[in-house]
Amino acid sequence: MKLSAFGRKFTAEAGITSLMDDLGNALSTNADMIMMGGGNPGHIPEVQARLQGILGDISRDPVSMARLVGTYDPPQGERGFIDALVQLLNQEYDWGLTPANVALTNGSQAAFFMLFNMFAGDYGDGQLKHILLPLAPEYIGYADAGLGPDLFHAVAPEITFTGSHEFKYRVDFDALEVTGQTGAICVSRPTNPTGNVITDEELAKLEMLARAHDVPLIIDGAYGAPFPGLMFVEATPHWNEQIVLCLSLSKLGMPAARTGIVIASEPIIKALSGINAIMNLATGSFGAIMAQPLVRSGEILSLSRDVICPFYKAKMEKAVAAFTRAMGDECQWYAHRPEGAMFLWLWFPDLPVSSLELYQRLKRRGVLVVSGHYFFPGLPDSGWPHRHECLRVTYAQDDDRIAEGLELIASEVKAVWREYHAAL
């Protein structure tokens, strides 16, 4: 089969497709596999019950049911949800939004595909622009989202040690350069894979750079503020017309509804809606209509604050304690300071095998993680060993299974070191 450049690009090996294929194959071939690789949110009983109640209310009302499954939404998205969201965010944060500042997409991945290719790539006048990622590592799903090559330029982080086995990434502003070839700046807050939350001060500096060079600052808030609020440190929700704020309903407990939310200036929303119409005709209604009662009442914020964030924070604390016990001090290891999201980012300095080989060894032992080397889009592999010394693991699922998986990771890392010393 002969394919176009587009076909070759999007059928080639990619980190995100490998991850999703691996998850699916592992589930179908080994029911006992400990799944610590994907980003599927946990099933929180209080959230599940609330969503079940809303779905029951909708199913008993013929008009609501017809809206849910029987009517196309406009390309901008379901208007009732957008109106309710605008009212809530203006009430809470005084952002001065109108419905023309919000568009919905069929998941965040679709939103980033459209936004990245709106602002980077071939401008048709000889210019090739890029998306600047000020803090690598970054989300695995960004890496292959460009229609053309070299869509991303990334900056290696500053690393500060915050405990005997803990470190934190910070933006290296001395190395960060916005140029005429920069189409937009993008940062996730909190970051998948590391759980890092850039500070309010770092965010203000990034906004200042974006404003000075007249480029958008895209904030990926899929795990962050104002909802679902998976942040364990203080971080202020922030928006103005320099910012493109991307939110999601997935980590609230609705990943299958595939609902992304983009808050931006009116011209950006108009352009995004046009692309939506061409690519999708209309966005799906399910997530927006299901979440609308939570938005109208403001419950989406209280659920995030009082139920969802504490659920993940408790899981994080158990996971950190379990891994600390399992690893001890036999060999060198660090975990990124867990400030948000649902992942531990583990670093094993000078490990004698690569993170990809460690991943393969762990898979053979029945635990599925993700090799850290996938999470450095736009950063040339110039021999920096750190990018091949890290793993991402999720702690969103059953606590006992997560503890078992972390013990297996610790056991395998120690085995690698013992094999290395025995061979010397």
pLDDT class of 126 with cuts at 50, 70, 90: confident
Structural domain of residue 13, as residue ranges? Answer: 5-46+303-423
pLDDT (tens digit per residue) in 334-367: 999 999 999 999 999 999 999 999 999 999 999 9
Domain of 399, CATH number, reads: 3.90.1150.10
Kindly state whether residues 149 and 293 are assigned to the same domain: yes
CA distances to 102, 239, 258, 296 from 90, in Å: 13, 11, 25, 12
Kindly state whether residues 271 and 328 are assigned to the same domain: no
What angle, 0 to 180 degrees and rounded to 10, lies between the N-to-C axes of helices 286-297 and 45-59? 110
Using the 3D structure, point to which of 298, 326, 355 is the last residue of a domain: 298
Kindly state whether residues 36 and 152 are assigned to the same domain: no
- Cα angle: 277, vertex 281, 285; to 5 degrees: 110
Residue pair 264/101 in contact (Cβ under 8 Å)? The answer is: yes
Amino acid 143: pLDDT: 87
Q: Which residue has the tokens 């076909």?
A: 7
Using the 3D structure, point to which of 282, 298, 314 is the last residue of a domain: 298
Domain of 176, CATH number, reads: 3.40.640.10
Kindly state whether residues 286 and 214 are assigned to the same domain: yes
Amino acid 14: pLDDT: 64
Query: How does DSSP classify residue 340?
Result: B
Kindly state whether residues 11 and 138 are assigned to the same domain: no
Kindly state whether residues 174 and 101 are assigned to the same domain: yes
User: For residue 69, is it within any domain?
Assistant: no
Average pLDDT across the chain, whole number:
93
Kindly state whether residues 35 and 144 are assigned to the same domain: no
User: Percentage of the chain surpassing pLDDT 90?
Assistant: 82
pLDDT (tens digit per residue) in 224-274: 999 999 999 999 999 999 999 999 999 999 999 999 999 999 999 999 999
Rounded mean pLDDT, 266-294: 94
- What residues have CB less than 8 Å from 415, skipping those under 6 apart? none
User: For residue 394, is it within any domain?
Assistant: yes
Q: How many helices (H) and strands (E) does the chain have?
A: 13, 16
Amino acid 330: pLDDT: 87
User: For residue 373, is it within any domain?
Assistant: yes
pLDDT class of 298 with cuts at 50, 70, 90: very high
Amino acid 20: pLDDT: 62
- Cα separation, 369 vs 362, in Å, equals 8
Kindly state whether residues 414 and 397 are assigned to the same domain: yes
Kindly state whether residues 263 and 142 are assigned to the same domain: yes
pLDDT (tens digit per residue) in 20-36: 666 666 555 566 899 99
Kindly state whether residues 291 and 388 are assigned to the same domain: no
User: For residue 40, is it within any domain?
Assistant: yes
Q: How many domains does the chain have?
A: 2
Beta strands in 283-397 (DSSP E): 334-336, 343-347, 367-368, 370-371, 390-394
Q: Which residue has the tokens 């980012």?
A: 345
